[in-house]
Structure 1
Amino acid sequence: MPKRSLRPVALVLGLCWLVVFFDGMDVNIYGAVMPHMLDDEGLGLTPASAGTIGSWTTFGMLLGALAAGNLTDWLGRRPVVIWSVILFSLGSALCALAEGPAFFGAGRFAAGLGLGGLMPTCLAMVMEFAPRGRVALATGLLMTSYHTGGMVATGLGLSLAPAFGWRWVFWAGVAPALVAVPLVLRYLPESPGVLLARGRRAEADTIAARYGLEPPEPAQAPAAGAKGRWDSVLALFAPGCRWATPLLWVASFCGLLLVYGVSTWLPQLMRASGYGLTSSISFLMVINLGGIVGMLIAGRTADRFGPVRVSALWFVLTAVGALLMGQQLGLALMYGVVFITGVWLFSAQVMVYAATNTVYAPGQRATGLGWVTGVGRLGAVVGPSVGGALVANGMQDWGFTAFAVAGLCGAAAISLVPLTARRGKRDAGAGAGAAPVTAA
């Protein structure tokens, strides 16, 4: 069957791209203005409290991601997108108004809840609306927005904060509620599967036809009611996917450990390797640029060879790149190594998300994605902590080695998913009433 164009779903992809762009901007704003906040004696922020607040943000993202799957099945995809954007915009406003660390931390926690809920919801929508054979490409295109937002946040921190103060950067974080929410309210459609679950068959068929999708079947509809939402969680451990689910969690944990660990400590590790301050900060921009390119390459490659294979290979290549970054290389050569490592590093994690499309049935996909991203957030906590512990103990040379080990563990976990999925199909076929699962 020939692969269809993404053009019919360009509106859905474009709107999700916009809100995830603001997601990436908001996540990276804190780090971009950290030096200015520490210099503000009136705020009273210390390096220790700054680290604690960073953990609050990540914990909020973890809770938001875990709740997102069930909330979208209950409220619908579109309302969760809207309220997630409103929530992290409100959190940014609280940060701009904060007079002390506690109030500021409350704002970052609120923002984390919205940020954590938005990502899996947008991923689920893009996967549902993407044509068959174009899911990985659509996922990769979506995630270019996150890194674009991160680069914009860095630019705001470098330009706006020195001239007008760090609070104005957080006021810029209110823009999503003013720009994106009206567009989402006006143009973003609801999931046909969710509409079908609510008995709105005609509306579900109309939206499916408008976007070139097959009419939704009852199996694609998420279960209704509190019991149905609980059953959606239990379904992640049904015979068809009981082994694949924890492996996806491990792969996501390793991927986000790498993403957040490298993003947080790359400049400091590079300084410890003998590079200048300006060059060390520039490496962070270069690795994000590589991440944008990598999303486009990984998406097209995964549509041809499968997201599991691509994710596993990308994890291995990330490990190789991490080891190379720990070597003493010339500045120009190191820029090339950092760029290429960015190509593999960020998209290895995103292809883990794309792999959920091959494991979970449509009715469980939002819940499955929510738990894969939520459990993976633990890696986002551990990654910066590992880097911080190594730096604090004068063991910077081991930083890139630790990241390489995480890459190899992620590759091993995601590589086993196809084997467990095939085993799950055999178990499901032997069990009564088990739901079928597509092997990765």
Structure 2
Amino acid sequence: MNRSPAAPRPPHTFRTVFPVLALCWLAVFFDGMDVNIYGAVMPHMLDDPGLGLTPSTAGTIGSWTTFGMLIGALTAGNLTDWLGRRMMLVSSVTLFSIGSAICALAGGIGLFGTGRFVAGLGLGGLMPLCLAMVMEFAPPRRAALTTGLLMTSYHAGGMAATGLGLSLAPAAGWRWVFWAGVLPAVVAVPLLLTLLPESPGVLLARGLRERADAVADRYGLPRPTAVAAPAAGAKGRLAAVQGLFRPEARWATPLLWLASFCGLLLVYGVSTWLPQMMRASGYGLSSSVSFLLVINVGGIVGLLIAGRTADRFGPVRISAIWFVLTAAGALLLRSHLPLGVTYAVVAVTGVWLFSAQVMVYAAANTVYRDSERAAGLGWVTGIGRTGAVVGPWLIGTLAGNGNESWGFTTFALAGLLGAVAIVLVPLARRAGRSGSSASAPLTAAAPADA
């Protein structure tokens, strides 16, 4: 089939990407709300004798959630060429809304844990899909900033969850907070179905050339080529995964996985346990839950700063610095500081903590080609979810033994290890290219690092 003639199209700017960014922002907002709901209501759940929740089982259930995320992240990318990114996003939102309803209805920890696992399946698939969509539609030199803007929604959702935990849980009970987690199916799903465009690359991979060109023209994107489009079918999915280990990426890929492991251990360990850890450190119940609100406010500020600075200085450098500063903040929180000082330290730590992980995603965007982007981000977030599994479980084990303060040391060590891993990514890429050039000296040189 001949390609349709190019039609006049708008310039590729933030204005043209805004509809996609806004819809993905809404989806990730509900993602952040659902993830943070558990931590926001955990103190109330621990005080509910009918549920039978203990600190140890609370950590285990937190890991069930993130184990579901691991499966969801690794599965979503492989189903994209079959269902499309838009339908996978709709399925993800629907799934974690159902999981929240199960939690609201649960009469014991078994069914509650099942609900969190189901929610995790949806939550795990949503993030890499939204990241891939936004990076595909974003202006090339503003990928890090656009990623940062997208991820502010996660923290806005975390703030909403904290507000629900502070206002709704004491008055109506923790179950009503989980009923609020059903709202995404009512609000976001209809909007995604009617307004979100499909990825031009995915449309091309499914043989829909005219639709792919039409979407690209409407949003000011270059028309997709066969090289940029992910190949369809099982062979295409296998090729995309194999591409993560081509010479230029074979060493960078495991380093990105390690950095993502550390970043998500921090994100989900803090989101799940910060209120209870601060409560165990001697702060009151309301103050302890409020710390979750404050750290998410810091997260929003940090993402706005990190996105702009990463577009200028590179996401690898910013991620590494942010990881180190996160480690310093975690060590400061080991001490019982005056309440005002503690709020300030928590806020500043939030500035670094969450955006350190988001800049890992932006760094992955510089490593993988267009046709590998969805698979690369899926595996970076998916393997990283093992850190999200380990974090809540490990801190829960420490809390069960009365050693909550060691959780801050764990967070500091994770920050330092994440900094080392992400700093080595450019070196690994250069080593891979050097080895490839040595074995095939007549091939064209690879492009320089972004």
TM-score by length of 2: 0.91
Alignment of 1:226-237 (within 5 A): 226-237=234-245
Contact 1:272 1:396 in 2 (8 A): yes
Inter-partner Cα distance in structure 1 for 2:376 and 2:391 = 23
Deviates more, 1:417-426 or 1:241-250: 417-426
The aligned amino acid for 1:59 is: F
* Conserved 8 A contact 2:245-2:253: yes
Counterpart code for 2:118 = A
Could you list the per-position Cα deviations for residues 348-372 of structure 1 after superposition, in whole angstroms to 9, with x for gaps in the alignment?
0000011111001111111111111
Residue number among 416, 422, 439 corresponding to 1:408 in the alignment: 416
Question: Which is worse superposed, 305-314 or 169-178?
Answer: 169-178
Q: Secondary structure at the match of 2:449?
A: coil
CA contact (8 A) 1:120 1:366 kept: yes
Q: Deviations over 1:51-95 (max 9, x none)?
A: 332222111111001112212233211111011111111112222
Hey, what's the Cα distance between the residues in 2 that align with 1:377 and 1:438?
30
Partners in 2 of 1:173 and 1:135 — Cα distance? Answer: 30
Percent identity among equivalent residues? 73
What is the aligned partner in structure 1 of residue 432 from structure 2?
A: 424
Of 372, 379, 394, 1:386 maps to 394
User: Aligned partners of 2:41 and 2:269: how far apart in 1?
Assistant: 18
**How much has 1:396 moved relative to structure 2?**
4.4
User: Which of 68, 72, 76 matches 1:68?
Assistant: 76
The 8 Å contact of residues 138 and 299 in structure 1, kept in 2 or not, is answered as yes
- For residues 332-354 of structure 1, the C-alpha deviation after alignment (integer angstroms, 9 at most, x for no partner) is 23322221111001000000011
Q: Name the amino acid aligned to 1:372.
A: V
Find out whether 1:107 has 2:121 as its counterpart.
no
- Provide the residue aligned with 1:287 in structure 2: 295
Q: Partner residue of 2:5?
A: none
- Provide the C-alpha distance between the structure 2 equivalents of 1:435 and 1:189, rounded to a whole number of angstroms: 35
Give the corresponding residue for 1:254: 262
Letter in 1 for 2:380: V
Distance 1:410 1:84 in 2: 28
Equivalent residue for 1:89? 97
Residues 62 and 393 of structure 2 are in contact (CA less than 8 Å); yes or no, is this contact kept in structure 1? no
Supply the AA of the counterpart residue of 1:368.
G
Report matched runs for 1:259-270 at 5 Å. 259-270=267-278
SS at match of 1:134: helix
Q: Which of 133, 144, 157 matches 1:125? A: 133
Matched, 1:78 2:86: yes
Structure 1: segments with no counterpart, 5+ residues = none
Matched, 1:98 2:106: yes
Contact 1:196–1:216 (8 Å) recurs in 2: yes
Corresponding position of 1:352: 360
The answer to whether the aligner puts 1:186 opposite 2:194 as a matched pair is yes
SS at match of 2:178: helix
1:141-152 alignment runs, 5 A limit: 141-152=149-160
2:449 maps to amino acid: A
Where do 1:325-344 residues align within 5 Å? 325-344=333-352
Q: How many pairs align?
A: 438
Question: In the alignment, which of 203, 219, 224 is matched to residue 232 of structure 2?
Answer: 224
Aligned-partner Cα distance in 2 for 1:119–1:373: 8
CA pair 435-142 structure 1, distance change in 2 beyond 3 A = farther
CA distance in 1, matches of 2:408, 2:68: 28
The CA distance in 2 between the partners of 1:99 and 1:206, in whole Å, is 51
d(CA) in 2 for partners of 1:215, 1:426: 32
* Contact 2:63-2:393 within 8 A present in 1 as well: no
Query: What is the DSSP-based 3-state SS (H/G/I as helix, E as strand, rest coil) of the residue aligned with 2:230?
Result: coil
Deviations 1:179-220 (A, max 9, x none): 111111111001111111122222111111111111112111
Question: Partner residue of 1:369?
Answer: 377
Q: Hey, what does 2:327 align to over in structure 1?
A: 319
SS of residue matched to 2:224: coil
Counterpart amino acid of residue 310 in structure 1 = I
2: CA distance, partners of 1:236 / 1:424: 12
In structure 2, what residue type is equivalent to 1:380? A
Residue 159 in structure 1 maps to residue 167 in structure 2: yes
Displacement of 1:40 in angstroms is 4.4
Could you tell me how far apart the structure 1 residues matched to 2:117 and 2:407 are?
Answer: 28
Paired residue for 1:22, among 14, 23, 30? 30
Match of 1:51 among 53, 59, 78: 59
Which of 219, 223, 228 does residue 215 from structure 1 map onto? 223
* C-alpha distance in structure 1 between counterparts of 2:448 and 2:216, whole Å: 22
**Partner Cα distance (1:268, 1:39) in 2:** 12
How far is 1:420 from its partner? 1.2
Alpha-carbon offset, residue 428 of structure 1: 4.2
Query: Given the superposition, is the C-alpha separation of residues 169 and 351 from structure 1 closer, same or farther in structure 2, using an over 3 Å criterion?
Result: same
Letter of the 1:287 counterpart: I
CA distance in 2 between counterparts of 1:262 and 1:281 reads 12
Q: Is the 8 A contact 1:4 1:134 kept in 2?
A: no
Q: What's the offset of the Cα at 1:237? A: 1.3
Give the TM-score taking structure 1 as reference length: 0.93
More divergent stretch after superposition (19-28 vs 195-204): 195-204
Unaligned stretches of 5+ in structure 2? 1-10
Check whether the contact 1:20–1:146 (CA below 8 A) recurs between aligned residues: yes
Q: Report what 2:250 is aligned to.
A: 242
Code of the aligned partner of 2:32: G
How much does 1:5 deviate?
A: 3.5
The amino acid of 1:60's aligned partner reads G
Structure 2 CA distance, aligned partners of 1:52 and 1:386? Answer: 9
